Structure 1
Amino acid sequence: MKPERKLLLASIHDVGPGSERQVDQLATLIEKQLGSARFAMLVVPEHHGAHRLTPGSAFATRLRDWADSGVEMFVHGWYHRDQSQHEGLASFKAKHMTAGEGEFLGLSRDEAARRMRDGRALIEDITGRAAAGFIAPAWLYGEGAHAALADCGFAMAEDHMRVWQPGSNRQLARGPVITWASRSTMRTASSLAFAALARVALHPLDVVRLAVHPGDTTKSSILASIEATLASFAGRRRAGRYAELLG
């Protein structure tokens, strides 16, 4: 089912106690263009094995308040860091598509399912609401992760090029996600160029997705590009919720 109107779906990745300051900055930037709580958060329970999200903590209270205000909460892995050994195509993806952040690229079906279920249980316990879905760190899924998605019953999942319903594999949205890269000058320049192109080329899509990361706050050029991109799309379409894709 197509959405009734063209949508803009914005999200903040890598949300956790260790990124609270950056998440606040990004949330303020998004809300300036889209309005209050018109975005999703991708929550990492224990980013890089540190900054564990703990029920009853001050950050857990903030997460629940965001959820109560209407922010959609996605499970975004458990550690985010990739600790698997890879071969073939997976090795290429791990090396060139992320800097060791593709946690679910090399996991077995059982281990992927365990982390998915544990992450969902924690986030749902804290927010008091069902998780919106699962999105793998760096949008990278191995065979085990794809199989585990069908086992775990998430309402939706997302990668670089699409949003879909696990199990049925029904397509919910298609098109490249607009995101930025801060870890090198060359990658930053490339992401700025793509965002500028996207502000012109992606308007025909029914659903446009835009994703920001805590690292984006380290470069003023990226923040300016995010603001310009939000403004460009918000002027022509409604800031929506991922749940609308389910009809």
Structure 2
Amino acid sequence: MKRLFASIHDVSPRFEREVDQLLAHLHPHVGKRLAMLVVPDHWGAAPLTPAFKARLRDWSDRGIEMFVHGWYHRDTAAHAGAAAFKARHMTAGEGEFLGLDYAEALARMQHGKALVEDTIGRGAAGFIAPAWLYSDDARRALGDAGFALAEDHARVWQPRGRIVARGPVITWASRSRARQLSSLAAAAVLRRALQPARHVRIAVHPGDTRVPALMTSIDRTFAAFRDHAPAAYADLLA
């Protein structure tokens, strides 16, 4: 069976209106068969409020999977070498786990897991680092944090087990005109290239809602994979 995994990133009180827009926009394509990536305190300025926690629990009760998505979603580390290139070109200061050592990565993972699970009343689906970027220590910490699944740009895996899905995530960038155009071109290519793929992942972000061309591309991308059944990440563990 061909499967489609949809996710909304950066779920936070800071982006509540945009999350609602994305939910409505994706509903014709996947219904509630999607994942939300929850940021416990976006940039240290948007902690989960009681009202937003109630919404997360309701969404979870309706079948939406909840992933822990870092803690702050902000990268404050100094980088060198390959990590510096990733920090500069693959994200706008949001690769929170790219520069963390083992102890700090594990602490943030554990605190995020406890908060999200206490909020929704069930286990978190897994952990996905902001911008899909991990230090080597952060990848090692995943194995001790107790998450069932983790994801990066190229794969989904069990932190203490096997790789359960491979292939690039289809996603969009909204922060500059150049990045918008490049992500539109990449999505158009991947819509064709990934047709034979058994597993396809599509990720959307709050910023996408502010760019009509991106929203149109998102619709076209979901439509291109009608023969892929909307699935839960947990299905990869079956």
TM-score w.r.t. structure 2 length? 0.99
1:137 equivalent to 2:130? Answer yes
Q: Which residue number in structure 1 is paired with residue 182 of structure 2? A: 190
Deviation at 1:230, TM superposition (A): 0.9
1:42 Cα offset (Å) = 0.2
Question: Residue 228 of structure 1 aligns with which residue?
Answer: 220
How much is the aligned-residue C-alpha RMSD, in angstroms?
0.7
1:7 matched to 2:7:
no
| Residues 1:91 and 2:84 are matched in the alignment | yes
Instruction: Pick the aligned partner of 2:12 from 9, 12, 16.
Output: 16
Which residue of structure 2 aligns with residue 206 of structure 1?
198
In structure 2, distance between residues paired with 1:201 and 1:212: 19
Counterpart residue identity of residue 237, structure 1 = H
- The equivalent residue for 1:240 is 231
CA–CA separation in structure 2 for the residues paired with 1:199 and 1:97:
21
Q: Size of the alignment, in residue pairs?
A: 238
After superposing on structure 2, the runs of 4+ consecutive aligned residues of structure 1 that deviate more than 6 Å are: none
User: Which residue of 45, 48, 63 corresponds with 1:50?
Assistant: 45
Q: Quick one: which of 17, 20, 25 aligns to 1:29?
A: 25
Paired letter, 1:145: A
Which of 115, 126, 132 is the equivalent residue of 2:119?
A: 126
Offset of residue 241 of structure 1: 0.4
Q: Which residues of structure 1 form unaligned runs of 5+?
A: none
- 1:45-98 CA deviation, whole Å, 9 max, x = no partner? 0000011014xx111111000000000000000000000011111111101111
TM-superposed CA distance for 1:144, in Å, is 1.4
How far does residue 201 in structure 1 lie from its aligned partner after superposition?
Answer: 1.0
- Percent of aligned pairs with the same amino acid: 61
- Structure 1: which amino acid aligns with 2:128? I
Structure 2 gaps of 5+ residues are none
Q: Offset of 1:236 from its aligned partner?
A: 1.0
Instruction: Find the aligned partners of 1:110 and 1:171 in 2 and give their Cα distance.
Output: 24
State how far apart, in whole Å, the 2-side matches of 1:31 and 1:39 are: 9
Query: 1:174-198: CA deviations, max 9, x gaps?
Result: 0000000001111101111111111
- Give the Å deviation of 1:129: 1.0
Is 1:177 equivalent to 2:177 in the alignment?
no
The match for 1:105 among 75, 98, 110 is: 98
